[in-house]
Amino acid sequence: MKMDKIGSWTFMIGLILAIIIAILSAAAVPAWAVIVLAVLGLIVGIVNVTDDEAEKFLIAGIAFLLSFSALSSVLTQLFLNWTAIGAFFSLLSVFMAPAIAIVAVKLLYDITKDQ
């Protein structure tokens, strides 16, 4: 299996897991779920984002993370305080943050190594 396929599948698995875990355990998200999603996020950041995509990924990822809180509040109110929505956005943040951090570190390294 090619590395780009591993990255794509890892991204999809992370999203699906975040949805399933949020629905099944919205009130108390288990620690193992946070660890699994964080590791999957690391894999996505290492394998899935090419050098050409790094800046776009960082901009999109940062915008997405910044919008999570407000979007979570709006959707939770819209769906009558369904706690799974807040849990989903929290889990999605846990999944995306390591990927964004890895890409940022790779990009910073690339910028500084040429100096």
Segment 5-28 mean pLDDT: 88
What is the chain's alpha carbon radius of gyration, rounded to the nearest angstrom? 15
Residue 21 confidence (pLDDT): 93
Dihedral (Cα; 16, 21, 23, 25), 10-degree rounding: 180
Domain limits, the chain:
3-113
- Residues 74-103 have pLDDT tens digits of 877 777 667 788 888 889 999 999 999 999
pLDDT tens-digit readout, 36-70: 999 999 999 998 888 888 999 999 999 988 888 78
In 3D, which of 79, 82, 93 has the Cα closest to residue 23? 82
Q: Give the pLDDT score at 35.
A: 96
pTM: 0.83
Q: Which residue carries 């790779």 as its tokens?
A: 106
